[in-house]
Amino acid sequence: MTCKGILVRIAAAAATTALAFTAAPGVASADTQAESLFWIRFAAGVQRCLDSNSAGSVYTHVCQDGNNHQKWNNYAPGKFKNKASGLCLAAGTSSVFAGSCETNASDWRTSSTTNKYFTNVSTGLCLHNSGGQAEAVGLRVCRAGTALWTVTKLRS
């Protein structure tokens, strides 16, 4: 077989392999999958949603359908990314903020009940709010009623 014949066969094999990968059914990247967005609402019967801004502040505010700062994507286990800012819900020793998604500060556990505790893995404390409008969100022991939240899936 000539060198030209070998090159033609290699090119044909490469083209077939490339076509098989691009046409494979059921294979989707994270970028092509629809994101699931949620409201994280204070569970004390008031219509207050977890809200954030581009500066990284986290607080509650009246829930608003069109407010992307109130929409959170649970894109990985224990990670909650804000739709508007792209920052993740995170906590330090005494504060809650929106920050890097690549740190342990942004790791959370939630309870499996309807009213959920959001426990920060690093601190062992829960997301807390007193329920007022534009109230800052902080950390507190998880037994408090002011540390309960509901999660509502939004239509895409």
Report if residue 30 sits inside a domain.
Answer: no
Residue-wise pLDDT for 26-70, tens only, equals 333 334 346 799 999 998 777 899 999 999 999 999 999 999 999
Report if residue 11 sits inside a domain.
Answer: no
- Whole-number Cα distances in Å, 66 to 59, 100, 155: 17, 24, 12
Mean pLDDT calculated for residue range 9-37 = 42
Report if residue 82 sits inside a domain.
Answer: yes
* Domain count within the chain: 1
Range of the domain at 62: 37-153
CA atoms within 13 A on the CB side of 62: 1
- Residue 32 is predicted with a pLDDT of 35
CB 40, CB 49: distance < 8 Å: yes
What CATH number corresponds to the domain at position 126?
Answer: 2.80.10.50
Confidence of residue 8 (pLDDT cuts 50, 70, 90): very low
Residue-wise pLDDT for 81-130, tens only, equals 999 999 999 999 989 999 999 999 999 999 988 899 999 999 999 999 86
Report if residue 6 sits inside a domain.
Answer: no
Name the DSSP class of 31.
Answer: T
Confidence of residue 131 (pLDDT cuts 50, 70, 90): low
Report if residue 80 sits inside a domain.
Answer: yes
Tokens, residue 28: 């989707």
Report if residue 115 sits inside a domain.
Answer: yes
Exposed/middle/buried for 26, CB within 10 Å: 0-12, 13-18, 19+? exposed
Tokens, residue 48: 């207050």
Length of the chain: 156
Three-state secondary-structure class, residue 53: coil
- Residue 34 is predicted with a pLDDT of 61
